[in-house]
Amino acid sequence: MTADDDNGLASGAGAPGPSPQPSPRKRGEGARALREARAEHARLAEEIAEHDRRYYQEDAPIVSDAEYDALRQRYEALEKAHPELATPASLTRKVGAAPAEKFAKIKHAVPMLSLGNVFADEEVRDFVARVRRFLGLPAEAALAFTAEPKIDGLSCSLRYEKGVLVSAATRGDGYEGEDITANIRTLQEIPHRLHGGAHPQVLEARGEVYMRREDFFALNERQAAAGKPVFANPRNSAAGSLRQLDPSITASRPLRFFAYGWGEVSHMPADTQHGMLAALARFGLPINPLVELCAGAEELLAHYRQIEERRATLGYDIDGVVYKVDEIELQKRLGFVSRAPRWAMAHKFPAERATTILRDIEINVGRTGALTPVARLEPVTVGGVVVSNATLHNEDEIVRKDIHIGDTVVVQRAGDVIPQIVAVVLDKRPANARRYEFPHICPACGSAALREIDEKTGEADVVRRCTGSLVCPAQAIERLKHFASRNAMDIEGLGDKQIEFFFNEGLIRTASDIFTLEERDRASLAKLKNREGYGETSVRNLFAAINARRSVPINRFVYALGVRHVGETNARRLARHFADFETLRETASHAAPGSEERERIEAIEGVGGVVAEALNDFFAEPHNEREIDALLRHVTLEPMPQVESASPVAGKTVVFTGALERLTREEAKAQAERFGAKISGSVSKKTDLIVAGPGAGSKLTKAKELGVEVISEEEWFARTGQG
């Protein structure tokens, strides 16, 4: 007898009765918990998006690695507790930095994604258990991992053809990076030609460029002696050295390299991670000597602790240990989520702390009108880096931590960026410390700044926003910055300072103005080349950069439009799902609640009602329609390439239902996406294919009613060429 049966009989019925219903009080508590989670989730999404913009587009982060990681952790935890909050716009899926403006671009043949992070021992055990569940491995089955130090440097990819180094690129946005070939050739540790004759015809070796601490200190001494700015830390020094337009400057810097993986390879010289690293070493590429093969979570943790103990004596900076499933065939089965591989994880070291004084709080107005408070700190050294700013998230956070201007505060840093405020040292609060009054007026335009009321919950949003979206210069400027930014249209020479200059001069007020700037300049008597900060060469380069982006992939364009809740991941999903931009535009503009168009958008795997509503609001707005029309007169949209587009299921909408025998459900979905298919959780007229296993129920019935093709799991393997 099951527990449910027991409960039913104990109620006095002769047969099992219905499960007890929660009391009205408990239902109310559950609804309140969901409302609170939804509000926090929205606040975190705004925060993470803003931090990504500052880090990836401005190289001016205002939070530490530890705080950023903590935000992502909390975001993931909310989605696990409340799955209805999960969307493909989840910023935990975003990839690292975007291509810099001053370099040509190289598209990665294989995406160069980043890693998920864990911080506690139990999370490492969960990672190993999650891998086993995904693969359907029993506890007694052997499962090996490699563990290696996570170098705090700049990731890059080296492409060798017939053994010769032909190009090198940074990670960029994971799909396209900066061309740093000339600079990489100056690194003595990187061979221009691979050693031996057994190397693949094509090999993309991936690794980390870094600088040893002693070399960093010596470089800073030379910089100071020459009256030049000093670097904050070895990682910044390595990144700055590698991003020099003059390769001779890079050559003068003591940069080093560790290889840790690969991208495109014409044939694999080994079938394990450990074996591939050994092969890279045979080819002449430096490999970190502390890589260890481990049999499970406990061995991984033991190696982590050993490396942590040796951290200070290594001579170079590391910020954790990376774990990878060793068998490459298992890596392929595990595949990737949007942002990172399922088969690898970074175990980060704890943050470093210090105390300082909070001198002031200033307000930054973002492109969506969000008012974000920024703490101005008395400069303090934390872990060898001088920091002076920190984010304060929102007004509720200031109240919750009881932060006053003039307080002594505990700041925390992990990595190479600006810290978070952990707590206030109350016993050091001075008599003249003053409580901060959050402004109700936008500091940029004077419009009212309000906390929107959620119509469904009746509760105020945690973010206060400027209401003057059409007149607020901060929002207009921020939207233009976003449009031209690296992850969006990626227009070289149109960085933040240039956008502000052109906006204030009245030369660029809308995105479409960017593409008419050259024509207007030709007709103007006040030529741009005669303005301060510009010359004939810089103007020519700017116009060339603008013209180079008159043709862009659809996903970049969609992201550049700045639709709320549509980040890079959602933009890619939408671009893959719809045949072209006009189809997306037409569908979104008619996607009112209850419509077939709304259903079509919400059927995209991971895209929910919030994103569908945001798309409808944006594309149904006449002002936006006119601006899009103006843009499309100057910009040609390229289709987004499908993954493994030669596959017979590429571009098709696939639904998996029933029990699968050779694949876990997660593995099946990951595999389908790898073959370029679009995954849906529901069956509709837009569904192309149903893969049905034993026990398939209502989805199979509906598929038959709609005449959708149904195949078995074995037929799926045959159709995708897997035997």
Pairing of strands 352-365, 371-382: antiparallel
Closest CA to 143 of 342, 324, 345: 324
To 10 degrees, the CA torsion angle through 717, 719, 720, 723?
50
Three-state secondary-structure class, residue 171: coil
Record the tokens describing residue 181, joined without a space. Answer: 């070939």
- Residue indicated by tokens 């050559």: 251
Phi, psi torsion values for 262, nearest 5 degrees:
-155, 165
- The pTM of the full predicted model, rounded to 2 decimals, is 0.54
Q: Is the Cα dihedral 47, 53, 58, 61 positive or negative?
A: positive
Three-state secondary-structure class, residue 707: coil
Question: In this structure, are residues 111 and 176 in contact, taking their beta carbons and an 8 Å threshold?
Answer: no
Instruction: Write down the pLDDT at residue 230.
Output: 77
Record the tokens describing residue 32, joined without a space. Answer: 């309140």
**Cβ neighbours for 176, distance < 8 A, ≥ 6 positions apart:** 99, 105, 106, 107, 108, 490
Instruction: Write down the pLDDT at residue 10.
Output: 31
3 φψ region: left (φ > 0), alpha (ψ -120 to 50), beta (else): alpha
Instruction: Write down the pLDDT at residue 54.
Output: 56
Which fold would CATH assign to domain 553-638?
A: DNA polymerase; domain 1 (1.10.150)
- CA 255 to centroid of chain Cα atoms: 27
Where does residue 694 rank: exposed (0-12), middle (13-18), buried (19+ CB within 10 A)? exposed
Which fold would CATH assign to domain 472-514+516-549?
A: DNA polymerase; domain 1 (1.10.150)
Closest CA to 176 of 490, 479, 495, 549: 490
Question: In this structure, are residues 366 and 50 in contact, taking their beta carbons and an 8 Å threshold?
Answer: yes
Q: Is the Cα dihedral 507, 510, 513, 515 positive or negative?
A: positive
Pairwise CA distance, residues 553 & 603, whole Å:
23
Q: How far is CA 453 from CA 274, 441, 456, 458, in A?
A: 54, 17, 9, 6
Pairwise CA distance, residues 253 & 241, whole Å:
7
Alpha helix stretches (DSSP H) within 460-495 = 473-484
Closest CA to 178 of 113, 244, 122: 244
Pairwise CA distance, residues 710 & 704, whole Å:
8
Instruction: Write down the pLDDT at residue 514.
Output: 96
Pairwise CA distance, residues 279 & 276, whole Å:
5
Phi, psi torsion values for 464, nearest 5 degrees:
-95, 135
- Full 3-state SS string of 447-507: CEEEEEECCCCCCEEEEEEECCCCCCHHHHHHHHHHHHCCCCCCCCCCCHHHHHHHHHCCC
Instruction: Write down the pLDDT at residue 17.
Output: 41
Instruction: Write down the pLDDT at residue 41.
Output: 82
Q: Residue 603: what residue type?
A: A
Pairwise CA distance, residues 321 & 304, whole Å:
6
Q: What angle do CA 303, 304, 305 make, to 5 degrees?
A: 90
Question: In this structure, are residues 584 and 111 in contact, taking their beta carbons and an 8 Å threshold?
Answer: no
Query: Matching CATH topology for 24-93 and 472-514+516-549?
Result: no
Record the tokens describing residue 510, joined without a space. Answer: 């809308």
Q: How many other β-carbons are positioned within 10 Å of the β-carbon of residue 659?
A: 11
Pairwise CA distance, residues 17 & 4, whole Å:
9
Pairwise CA distance, residues 398 & 323, whole Å:
37
- Residue indicated by tokens 């709304």: 598
Instruction: Write down the pLDDT at residue 631.
Output: 95
Closest CA to 282 of 356, 220, 350, 196: 196
| Residues paired with 169 in a beta bridge | 157, 179
CATH of domain 24-93: 1.10.287.610
Instruction: Write down the pLDDT at residue 175.
Output: 86
- Determine whether 150 is an active site residue: yes
Record the tokens describing residue 589, joined without a space. Answer: 């503009």
Instruction: Write down the pLDDT at residue 646.
Output: 61
Instruction: Write down the pLDDT at residue 417.
Output: 52
Alpha helix stretches (DSSP H) within 53-100 = 58, 65-81
Compute the half-sphere exposure of residue 357: CA atoms within 13 Å on the CB side of its CA. Answer: 8
CATH H-level, domain 653-719: superfamily: BRCT domain (3.40.50.10190)
Domains of the chain by residue range? 24-93, 105-348, 472-514+516-549, 553-638, 653-719
Instruction: Write down the pLDDT at residue 605.
Output: 72
To 10 degrees, the CA torsion angle through 103, 106, 110, 115?
0
Pairwise CA distance, residues 114 & 117, whole Å:
10
Pairwise CA distance, residues 475 & 466, whole Å:
9
Instruction: Write down the pLDDT at residue 420.
Output: 83
**Catalytic residue (one of 26, 102, 107, 150):** 150
CATH H-level, domain 105-348: superfamily: DNA ligase/mRNA capping enzyme (3.30.470.30)
Pairwise CA distance, residues 49 & 38, whole Å:
16
Q: What is the DSSP letter of 102?
A: T
Q: How many other β-carbons are positioned within 10 Å of the β-carbon of residue 686?
A: 17
Compute the half-sphere exposure of residue 5: CA atoms within 13 Å on the CB side of its CA. Answer: 2
Mean pLDDT, 10 residues at a time, over the chain (723 residues)? Answer: 33 38 58 77 77 51 64 81 66 44 81 89 96 92 96 94 95 88 93 91 96 90 83 82 85 94 96 97 96 96 93 87 97 85 93 88 90 90 75 90 95 66 93 95 88 73 79 87 91 91 92 95 92 89 94 93 86 85 94 90 82 87 86 91 64 86 76 80 87 85 90 87 70
Pairwise CA distance, residues 723 & 720, whole Å:
8
